[in-house]
């Protein structure tokens, strides 16, 4: 499975031009089929297809537990790039309506307002009940450690990363992808398939936080999600609605937009100006 390929470009600098080459991140479609029918097509970086599919289906509300999965597989013959998931008969009976509305959670249609999106999402999300308190310095340390989980980004400068930590801020899983949503699905999927999702508590992203990422974190039961860029207003509203802590770590500062009760300020994580 190829995550990157060599690409050539012309560099103009100092009045001169030179042909150069560097690694480019690969972007390919992945067709996800549920119960034998097409459910969604996502553009992603090849790799971790089984975890990606499991994490995606967890975030969509198709599965709640690994035991809901009857079978999961991936076929890359003839470049079909198709992943399939079937659920148990018991689980299928509870998601019939969801399968009829395929993609309604992750794919926003034109004309849908923020309130309608949140109303839809609250049908498959539950409020975070945990009240784990994190020291600000440890959160910043988790963010700073993200670079060690980005070998593909160092190679291509084009990959997003996501990492999942437990309540003691031990790293549980990490993943990279051309798409930030895919990176989070892959990281969550790894923890989910390892049957350790109940221990997952904190998610760290190398990107801004949109409402879709809050949705995925909420489905995984995370209490906190931290990005390195500012969140959108809809992301803050959704996180607040499900009692999730949403924060941005930027320039040595930890900016918390909702759920401040889970933060122990301690020593200020940034350097005084």
User: 156 with 175: CB under 8 angstroms?
Assistant: no
Cα→Cα distances 47→187, 194, 204, 243, Å:
12, 17, 20, 33
User: 125 with 218: CB under 8 angstroms?
Assistant: yes
CA within 13 Å, CB half, 205: 31
User: Which candidate, 106, 185, 249, 245, places its Cα nearest to that of 174?
Assistant: 185
Backbone angles phi, psi at 257, to 5 degrees: -95, -25
**Does the annotation count 248 as an active-site position?**
no
E strand segments, the chain: 4-13, 16-25, 28-34, 37-44, 69-75, 82-87, 134-135, 160-166, 171-177, 200-205, 224-227, 245-250, 253-258, 263-264
Strand partners, 263: 134
* Pairing of β 224-227 and β 200-205: parallel
Kindly name the residue from 110, 113, 201, 258 that is annotated as catalytic.
110
**In the numeric block, which tokens belong to residue 107?**
């794919």
Active site residues: 110
């Amino acid at each position: 499975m190829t995550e990157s390929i060599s690409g050539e470009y012309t560099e103009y600098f100092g009045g001169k031009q030179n042909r150069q080459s560097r690694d480019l991140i690969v972007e390919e479609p992945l067709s996800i089929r549920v119960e034998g029918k097409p459910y969604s097509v996502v553009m992603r970086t090849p790799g971790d297809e089984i975890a990606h599919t499991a994490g995606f289906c967890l975030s969509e509300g198709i599965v709640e537990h690994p035991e809901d999965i009857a079978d999961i597989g991936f076929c890359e013959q003839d470049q079909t790039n198709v992943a399939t998931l079937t659920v148990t008969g018991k689980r299928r009976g509870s998601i019939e309506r969801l399968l009829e509305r395929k993609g309604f959670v992750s794919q926003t249609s034109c004309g849908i307002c923020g309130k309608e999106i949140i109303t839809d999402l609250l049908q498959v999300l539950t409020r975070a009940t945990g009240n784990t308190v994190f020291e600000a310095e440890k959160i910043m340390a988790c963010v700073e450690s993200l670079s060690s989980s980005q070998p593909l980004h160092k190679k291509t400068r084009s990959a997003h990363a996501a990492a999942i930590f437990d309540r003691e801020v031990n790293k549980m899983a990490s993943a990279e992808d051309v798409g930030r949503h895919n990176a989070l699905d892959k990281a969550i999927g790894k923890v989910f398939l390892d049957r350790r999702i109940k221990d997952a508590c904190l998610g760290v992203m190398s990107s801004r936080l949109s409402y879709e990422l809050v949705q995925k974190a909420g489905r995984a039961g995370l209490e906190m999600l931290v990005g390195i860029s500012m969140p959108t207003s809809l992301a803050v509203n959704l996180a607040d609605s499900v009692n999730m802590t949403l924060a941005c770590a930027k320039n040595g500062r930890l900016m918390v937009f909702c759920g401040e009760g889970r933060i122990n300020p301690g020593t200020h994580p940034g350097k005084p100006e």
